């Protein structure tokens, strides 16, 4: 990255995007421009304590060619986090997912093509579908795509667009598919912060189905360090899977949250399962570790979870404005 000076981060006011901006400003001398539509999932408060001379915020839609051209014209590289990403919302209304994840990615790729901009695309392990609950199989870069929801289908489509623009037009792009993130600045509609904030509000956590679905958890700061490593050392046209060996069932996660917050491990409720709920995700990140030398800092989920719980305890001013609307959406879906 020695030749880079200006980095464009799409979706930089969202959860993993804002964590990445914090990480970049702490570990490099790059200037960051954040392009964010500032939907309900984007929050300028997530960037409030950053040095004002090190980053710029542009409010706009990645599907708008005008604002994308403006943002890309001064960027040496772009890291594309912006996405509609909540599975439940995609089941209720898929259209915004198509617009942002497909049309938005196309618009960015065309701008990167015009300007010769280095492009890194953030994707998800959900494009691979799911794995059996029993067994040791993990997703690898060679796993066939088998998305289950409108969200994961549109992310799979955006991955394919990136690959096509590399091969057809020579765009200098890489892709990373990451497992489930947790940590500061995550919207309270998501699994871990919803449970934490429900407990803080005196409500019992809620778990889909029997809670047996397994996710592979990674702290957002580890995701950020992996992306920075790929941006620096990744081979153009390659895909890298990012994971921290954090496989846990939803039930196990909720029990750990309850115990760490001083409640009985069984003080939760089971609710009707989500349609098309993937059974298990598991990431094999050997390629990233062996070829690029990356390692996670948060190898202990308990430690990362403890820090995350403390962050939500001490930042009620950040999450409180979101909480009522998020719970209203869940209530309307019977969850």
- Is 145 annotated in the active site? no
Nearest residue to 222 via CA among 185, 178, 257, 186: 178
Q: Give the β-pairing of 173-178 and 180-182.
A: unpaired
**pLDDT band (50, 70, 90) for residue 278:** confident
Among the listed residues 36, 61, 84, 125, the single catalytic one is 125
Cα–Cα distance measured from residue 299 to residue 302, given in angstroms and rounded to the nearest whole number = 9
Among the listed residues 106, 128, 151, 182, the single catalytic one is 151
- Is 327 annotated in the active site? no
Among the listed residues 36, 61, 84, 126, the single catalytic one is 126
Could you report the per-residue pLDDT of 221-264, keeping only the tens digit for each?
Answer: 999 999 999 999 999 999 999 999 999 999 999 999 999 999 99
Nearest residue to 164 via CA among 216, 237, 233: 237
Taking the C-alpha atoms of 45, 49, 51 and 52 in order, what is their torsion angle to the nearest 10 degrees?
40
- Residue 325 vs residue 111, higher pLDDT: 111
Mean pLDDT of the chain: 95
Residue 116 has pLDDT above 70, yes or no: yes
- Is 125 annotated in the active site? yes
E strands, the chain, are: 6-10, 31-36, 55-59, 77-80, 118-124, 173-178, 180-182, 206-208, 214-219, 239-242, 247-249, 269-271
């Amino acid at each position: 990255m020695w030749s880079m000076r200006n980095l464009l981060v799409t979706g930089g006011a969202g959860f993993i995007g804002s964590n990445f901006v914090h990480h970049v400003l702490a570990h490099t001398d790059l200037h960051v421009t954040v392009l964010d539509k500032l939907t309900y999932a984007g929050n300028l408060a997530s960037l409030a304590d950053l040095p004002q001379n090190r980053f710029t915020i542009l409010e706009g839609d990645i599907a708008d060619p005008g604002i994308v051209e403006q943002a890309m014209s001064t960027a040496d590289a772009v890291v594309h986090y912006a996405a509609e990403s909540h599975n439940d919302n995609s089941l209720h209304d898929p259209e915004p997912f198509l617009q942002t994840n497909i049309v938005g990615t196309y618009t960015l790729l065309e701008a990167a093509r015009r300007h010769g901009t280095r492009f890194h695309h953030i994707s998800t392990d959900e494009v691979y579908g799911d794995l059996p609950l029993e067994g040791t199989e993990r997703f690898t870069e060679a796993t066939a795509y088998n998305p289950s929801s409108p969200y994961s289908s549109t992310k799979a489509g955006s991955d394919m667009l990136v690959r096509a623009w590399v091969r057809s037009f020579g765009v200098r792009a890489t892709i990373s598919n990451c497992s489930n993130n947790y940590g500061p600045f995550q919207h309270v509609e998501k699994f871990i912060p919803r449970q934490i904030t429900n407990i803080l509000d005196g409500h019992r956590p809620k778990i889909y189905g029997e809670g047996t679905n397994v996710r592979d958890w990674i702290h957002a700061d580890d995701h950020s360090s992996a992306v920075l490593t790929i941006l620096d050392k990744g081979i153009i046209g390659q895909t890298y899977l990012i994971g921290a060996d954090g496989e846990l069932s939803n039930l196990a996660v909720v029990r750990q949250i309850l115990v760490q917050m001083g409640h009985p491990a069984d003080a939760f409720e089971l609710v009707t399962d989500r349609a098309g709920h993937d059974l298990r995700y598991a990431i094999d990140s050997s390629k990233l570790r062996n070829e690029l030398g990356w390692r996670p800092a948060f190898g202990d989920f308990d430690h990362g979870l403890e820090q995350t719980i403390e962050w939500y305890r001490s930042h009620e001013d950040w999450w409180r404005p979101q909480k009522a609307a998020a719970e209203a959406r869940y209530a309307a879906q019977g969850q």
